[in-house]
Structure 1
Amino acid sequence: MSYTPIPPQKMDTQSPRRNFIKSLAIGALGSLGSEAVKAHTVATPTRLKTSLNAYSFNAPLMNGSMNLDDLIDFCAQVGFDAVDITGYYFRGYPQVPSNDYVYHVKRRAFRQGLEISGAGVRNDFTLADKEKRQKEVQLVKAWVEVAAKLGAPVLRIFSGVQKNEGVPREQVHEWMLECIDACVAYGKQNGVIIGLQNHADFIQTAAHVVSVFEAIESEWFGLILDTGSYRIGDPYQQIQQTIQYAVNWQLKEKIFIEGQEVDTDLERIIKMIKQSDYQGYVPIETLGPGDPKTKVEAMLKKVKSYLQN
């Protein structure tokens, strides 16, 4: 495997599957007149659902003033369709929780009418020490099994944060790809998609994302598209360039324009999602100061209005 980023301006932002479907439609309707085409063209409905990433309540979940039952109850009360539960909010992380507790959480969500849209771990595949990288792979594999028990379709992972001064980026890239590839294979065995989040770490730009997905092509691997973590260049352009890989989202209230944190144009991003072939959950995440309940409810209201329009 080799590291060969593609310049953003040369990228086709539509997936091969979408282009194929479009070509079939054009071929089938090509012999019809313009009015007949209009009459026979049926818009594909979008199937987008709301979800909350648990990190929105990071402080209360970590200090114990809130637990996963409380989180699930809140999500149900304010009208989310699903909840995304990161692994480190389970008691005892990074050790996997008992089956009893996993199934308790799963049942609680079910009884509240919520789906579990995803789960996640905190890993680092850029470590220079091979044995340490293998431990990170084992961590992900252990939580793949937890995700499968929860019924979470996607497990979120990271690339890594190590700078590894003096080591060429290409070498670190190869380490990361090897680890991800092993996790994807294990995810497939357990029916769980591995989702790599762009997190302004080793993966910073759309070109970095593309270099990974050109190296690892699998229907069991996708992108957790973090709207707040493209901090180099135009974030909206880079979201558009990588939306074809998305299997889940972190739709954040803030975005970075020329290094400055500003309010996200939620309407613009949701329009982009609707115009893509993405179907499924759109988890939101709020960060920073303020009452998380108030912030989450306000953001959910906006997102729902744009999804419905």
Structure 2
Amino acid sequence: MDKKRRDILRSFALAPLLLSSNSLVSNSLFTNHILETKTTAKVKFSVNAYTFNEQLRSGEMNFYDMMEFASNLGLDAVDLTGYYFSTYPNIPEDKTLFQLKKKALELGLNITWTGVRNSFLTPNKTKRTKDIELIKNWLEVSSKLGASIMRVFPGFGKHKGATRDEVKDWMVADFKECAKYAEKKGVLLGMQHHNEFLYKADEVIDILKRVNSEWFGLILDVGSVRRGNPYEEIATLAPYANYWFLKELVYTNGVPEQVNMEKIAPILKANNYKGYISFESLTKGDPKEIVTRMFTDFKNAYGNI
């Protein structure tokens, strides 16, 4: 055996050891953007189904129409939120999922995620267990669609009879159970802080750290930090973000104002974010025009840095 061939084989033999050594550096996905890297940041773009809430619920649009819009605009992906499937909360047939997957392929799109409407605020363990099962079922859907992330919420509603700390304790336990299942399915479970229980950046980060799973991450929603200076809160959350939601409004001490992409873009650049940015429109008007404008404004701001 010549020396060159021996060297090649030796490099293959050492590869698992090198990977094992690297894994010791970071055991959490949300530290990826904190570590220094020489890789140039590369962002891709998606649109969230809730943008077309009225159109999807009325039948004016369906997921295929949404995909056509995304492709024509030059986006890279779509977010297919679970509750716009006609079977929800039950999972769709494989045939339905695979047709969507095929359509995305034909249009050059990825399906980046699904999402459900769960709540881990309630003291009622039976209801929380039901939502854990909902999440597990839709992780199956995400895996079949080839989606890399599935959105969940901390929760909504009241937690009468329990303190905030008690809620956080069982919330962490519930997320840990879901994250273990997410690992089995190869889908990252992404928590979208939704201005319903976790209001400040430090609270969000505390939950992430306590769950402490490679398969539990953060969907940074710029429209759901509504106490204090939104751009400061966004900058605090940015190092932990696995996915970004850009909306047309941010809130300064609860008061809505138009998002300033020239303030958002530098935060992404500073954290060398590499991943998807999804646009979501919640205000009145033509959602296609709003998303198109947000997409253009962000690209201009990002490209000028």
After TM superposition, where is structure 1 displaced by more than 4 Å over at least 4 residues in a row? 15-20
Deviation at 1:21, TM superposition (A): 3.5
Q: Is 2:99 the counterpart of 1:113?
A: no
Q: Distance in 2 between matches of 1:237 and 1:134?
A: 36
- Provide closer, same or farther for how the CA distance between residues 294 and 235 of structure 1 changes in structure 2, counting only shifts above 3 A: same
Quick check: 2:31–2:240 contact (8 Å CA) kept in 1? no
Matches of 2:302 and 2:181, distance apart in 1: 34
**Corresponding pairs, count:** 275
Shift of residue 278, structure 1, vs aligned partner: 2.2
Partners of 1:158 and 1:20 in 2: CA distance: 27
- Unmatched 5+ residue regions in structure 2? 1-29
The 1:250/1:44 distance shift into structure 2, 3 A limit, reads same
Residue aligned with 2:224, SS = coil
- What is the one-letter code of the residue matched to 1:194? L
Matched, 1:89 2:84: yes
Q: Considering only aligned residues, what root-mean-square deviation do their CA atoms show, in Å? A: 1.5
Give how far 1:301 is off.
Answer: 1.4
- The question of 1:305 aligning with 2:303 is answered no
How far is the alpha carbon of 1:18 from its aligned partner?
5.7
SS in 2 for 1:228: helix
1:247 aligns with 2:242: yes
Question: Partners of 1:290 and 1:147 in 2: how far apart?
Answer: 30
Aligned partners of 2:176 and 2:48: how far apart in 1? 25
1:209 corresponds to: 204
The SS at the match of 1:222 is: strand
* 1:188 paired residue among 178, 183, 188: 183
1:107-256 alignment runs, 5 A limit: 107-256=102-251
Identity %: 39
Does the 8 Å CA contact 1:160/1:201 hold for their aligned counterparts?
Answer: yes
What are the Cα deviations for residues 190-249 of structure 1, in whole angstroms up to 9, with x where unaligned?
000000001001111112102101211122111100000001111111111111211111
Q: What CA distance in whole angstroms lies between the structure 2 residues aligned with 1:19 and 1:178? A: 26
1:293 aligns with 2:288: yes
The counterpart of 1:266, out of the listed 261, 269, 280, is 261
2:274 equivalent in structure 1: 279
Aligned residues of 1:50 and 1:304 also touching (Cα < 8 A)? no
Q: Give the residue type in structure 2 aligned to 1:167.
A: A
Contact 1:152 1:192 survives alignment (8 Å): yes
Letter of the structure 1 residue corresponding to residue 214 of structure 2: E
> Residues of 1 paired with 2:91 and 2:105: CA distance?
21
In the alignment, structure 1 residue 51 sits paired with structure 2 residue 46: yes
Mark the CA change 1:19 to 1:146 in structure 2 (over 3 Å): closer, same or farther.
closer
**Cα distance in 2, alignment partners of residues 17 and 54 from structure 1:** 27
**Is the Cα contact below 8 Å between 2:176 and 2:213 reproduced in 1?**
no
Judged with a 3 Å threshold, the aligned counterparts in structure 2 of structure 1 residues 18 and 288 are, in CA distance, closer, same or farther, namely: closer
CA contact (8 A) 1:234 1:257 kept: yes
Question: TM-score, with normalisation over the residues of structure 2?
Answer: 0.87
User: Contact 1:48 / 1:307 at 8 angstroms: preserved in 2?
Assistant: no
